[in-house]
A and B are shown apart, each in its own frame.
Chain A
Amino acid sequence: MPSINVKYFALLREKAGVESEELTFEGTYLELYSFLSEKYNFDLPGAMIQLAVNDEFSSMNGLVAQNAKIVFIPPVAGG
């Protein structure tokens, strides 16, 4: 099972209560997000989340890669 580092931003960070964490997970990034949504009560749908893998915007449908540095970025609109 791939070992990964997941980092959270903005409201996701507040809900998760941690800035980042080490996990193991097998599946797509969307499945990972759904798993974490259940764990932390994220209420934003996956389609609204931007994903960066190893500091590059990526598709939620890709498979979680070994040692991936993952960031889930919720949309923010303040101005």
Chain B
Amino acid sequence: MFSISNTSLNRDELHSALSNDKAGAIVVFEGWVRDHNEGKLVSSLEYQVYHELALKEGQKILNEAREKFNLHGIISVHREGHLRLGEIAIWVGATASHRDDAFKATRYVIDEIKHRLPVWKKEHYVDQKPEWVFCRHHSHHVHFEENDYYAKQSSVVNQSKLRAAKVLVVGAGGLGCPVLVNLASAGVGEMTILDPDIISISNIHRQTLYSPNLVGEKKAVVAATRILELNPFIKVTAVVSLVELKHIQHDLVIDCTDNMATKYFLHDACFKLRIPLITASIYKSEGQIRTVLPGSEHGCLRCFSKTTPDDSLLGNCNDFGVVGATTSVVGSIQASEALNFLSTGKNATLGHTLYLNLNDLSQIKVKNTGTACSVCQGDVEIYHSNLEVTGGMEILDIRNLSDEEVFQMKPSGVALCCHRGVRSKKLALSLRERGHKVFSLKGGACSL
């Protein structure tokens, strides 16, 4: 059992949890907070742990130890938070019939944890500023100063504004990967990554944060881990979910999604919540990028047509094909626009939408004319919100009905129910855009 604790470890409790009449030996390793490191006087330590991954990786290490050695039990706990001198930072205990297995297993676990666990350590000193200390992939500690990390960009960005910024990146795919890498390494202080999907093998050619050994893993979680490795001085949160209104509470939203329903939902929500948005889309080797800013004179996507484009008429990257070079360029422009906006409060794609063609390297810039329409004013119905329900209302089973038949019924005040809740959600969204107040039963008939 591997766990993470934010309170002091009780060695007696851990010890007795391992007691077993079959065991002939227990070997315990305790890592303590000591008062010095490389000539500096340490006063305390701070650990930051990336929970979701650390728990998984820690458990994996214990399982490996069980496979390699003949054990009766093995437990490890890693601390997080602020630790005083002398406190236990990590505890590993293994029991076995014979001492050799217990010694080897404990040694294996502590060595692997040191190398593999996503844990960051900040040392506080008696007589100087605290420093982050990096232990991963090094047999010795390496010290880095946060200011040195940003040394070569300090003349081109406003670092303190970037550090204070909270940015939501929706979609961790072709556009999301370059956006995340560039914003993380530039030092955007807090980022939330939202994506409901898992990595598939056909994503990897353009989604540069992933590799074949990660197929099946959650994109948001892997992306968060990867960018924290690039820059441990920032905070990153992964949310494995479709975007909902409750997720949006940031200084800036970056739309890296691949469908109109979500793009227009984000757009409308940002106007309702008065949050700036940088949106981008790709078609084969063409990309378009626009920034919208509620309260500005530059308008919105609905100024000249209130219609939400129908996804079923359009397709996405999986349908029409795209190369990684295209998504990387367009996503990097999006990131650059975000950094300019966060640093200075303005950027180029606020005044003009950029249309870029990577085949002939042509571009056009279209002036973002506003009509101060109702959506610009924030007077907009958010179709996405409270779309899914788990029951509590009349159910309309659509499993034996075609889409057209459901549309003709003009349902209202009911929850559509299909097999798994995927088709019903899509239909409910389309119906809401036509003015019908319908819901979708989450998980479909399978959940009943």
Q: Which residues of A contact B (CB under 8 A)?
A: 7, 9-11, 43-45, 47-52, 55-60, 71, 73-79
Residues of A within 8 A of B366 (CB): 52, 55-57, 71, 73
Any A CB within 8 A of the CB of B303: yes
- The number of chain B residues with a CB under 8 A from chain A is 44
Closest to B310 in A: A48
0/1 interface trace, chain B 300-330, chain A, CB 8 Å (1 if under): 0001110101110111110010100001000
**How many Å lie between the Cα of A43 and that of B310 in the bound state?**
12
Any A CB within 8 A of the CB of B259: yes
Any A CB within 8 A of the CB of B294: no
* A9-B355, A47-B305, A58-B304 given; A76·B365 CB < 8 A: no
Closest to A62 in B: B304
**How many Å lie between the Cα of A52 and that of B355 in the bound state?**
12
* A43-B313, A48-B310, A79-B257 given; A55·B365 CB < 8 A: yes
* A76-B288, A78-B316 given; A51·B304 CB < 8 A: yes
Known: A71-B366, A78-B322, A79-B281. 16 other contacts (CB 8 A): A10-B284, A43-B313, A48-B307, A52-B364, A55-B367, A57-B303, A57-B353, A57-B366, A58-B369, A59-B304, A75-B281, A76-B288, A77-B260, A77-B311, A78-B315, A79-B327
In the assembled complex, how far is the CB of residue A52 from the closest CB belonging to chain B, in whole angstroms? 4
Residues of A within 8 A of B232 (CB): none
Q: Are A50 and B304 in contact (CB under 8 A)?
A: yes
Pull 19 A–B residue pairs with CB atoms less than 8 Å apart, ordered by A: A9-B286, A10-B283, A44-B313, A45-B307, A48-B313, A51-B304, A57-B304, A58-B304, A59-B371, A60-B304, A60-B305, A75-B281, A77-B259, A77-B315, A78-B282, A78-B284, A79-B173, A79-B174, A79-B280
**How many Å lie between the Cα of A78 and that of B257 in the bound state?**
7
Q: Are B314 and A77 in contact (CB under 8 A)?
A: yes
Any A CB within 8 A of the CB of B118: no
Closest to A46 in B: B305
Give the A-B pair count, Cβ closer than 8 A.
100
Q: Are B369 and A57 in contact (CB under 8 A)?
A: yes
**Which listed residue, A48, A52, A79, touches B309 by the CB 8 Å rule?**
A48
Q: Which residues of B contact A (CB under 8 A)?
A: 171, 173-176, 255-260, 263, 280-284, 286, 288, 299, 303-305, 307, 309-311, 313-317, 320, 322, 327, 353, 355, 364-369, 371
**How many Å lie between the Cα of A11 and that of B320 in the bound state?**
10
**How many Å lie between the Cα of A57 and that of B257 in the bound state?**
23
In the assembled complex, how far is the CB of residue A24 from the closest CB belonging to chain B, in whole angstroms? 23
Residues of A within 8 A of B176 (CB): 79
Residues of B within 8 A of A48 (CB): 305, 307, 309-310, 313
Of A10, A43, A52, A77, most B-chain CB atoms within 10 Å: A77
Closest to B352 in A: A55
Residues of B within 8 A of A77 (CB): 257-260, 263, 281, 309, 311, 314-316
